[in-house]
Amino acid sequence: MRNDVRDLREAAGLSQAALGDALGVSRQTVNSIETGKYDPSLPLAIAIARYFATTIEEIFHVD
Amino acid sequence: MSTKSASSTIAKLTGLIFGAAGLTILAIIAHLADHDDFAKGAVIGGAITMLAIVVLWVRGTRGGAAARIASGVADERERLLFRESSADAAAAMFAAAVGGAIWALFDAPAIGVAGIVLWVGLITFLVSFAVRARRG
């Protein structure tokens, strides 16, 4: 699944580790989500959307 | 030291003590059954495993997926990696057990069959975990 997590993170000036700390996941997990290798669970997707003050549909796109 | 880290340390020490106790009991049983080689292998393998776990604990939350799983702080992706690798190991051990059962028809030693099943499970788990972790 394609997503805009990397764009949002970089726009916020955050490192992968910083975003991971904020979401309670590892830097590697943030990287896997950004590269589309791992699709987050619904709770984590909601947490990501809330962190960037947007919706899941705005971040994650089913190709 | 916070209450949480103190209870975590107690849990880890308890795990190590019970692991060492289980290992000792296994070695004693093997020795009493005149399988000293098995006892030595169990002690050496168990000691290496426990040392590896301690190393992972020392590496802590910044030490990669294996260290975070061993420390009990894995996130959802790492728990999934662990579950899938465990499932791969279980499937491989099932296949090895079937092979071992066939081998037993030709008077294979039981301890050899059991050893192969255990080794197949361990190696499959480690390979599966490494591959899955690299793939994301």
Which residues sit opposite A60 in a β-bridge? Answer: A3
Domains within chain A, CATH numbers bracketed: 2-55 (1.10.260.40)
Region A38-51 average pLDDT:
96
Same domain as B81, residue B123: yes
Same domain as B135, residue B79: yes
Residue range(s) defining the domain that contains residue B39: 1-74
- Which residues of B fall within a CB distance of 8 Å from A28? 64-65, 77
Q: pTM score, two decimals?
A: 0.81
Phi, psi of B107 (to 5 degrees): 65, 35
Helix or strand (DSSP H, E) at A2? strand A2-3
pLDDT in tens, B1-34: 455 566 778 888 898 899 999 999 999 999 999 9
Model ipTM? 0.88
Report the pLDDT value the prediction gives residue B3, as an integer from 0 to 100: 59
Which residues sit opposite A3 in a β-bridge? Answer: A60
Torsion sign, CA atoms B84, B90, B94, B99:
positive
Same domain as B130, residue B89: yes
Report the residue of B75, B78, B80, B83 to disrupt the A interface, i.e. the one with the largest count of A CBs within 10 Å: B75
Phi, psi of B106 (to 5 degrees): -105, 30
d(CA B23, CA B42): 7
Same domain as B58, residue B26: yes
d(CA B64, CA B66): 6
Report the pLDDT value the prediction gives residue B57, as an integer from 0 to 100: 87
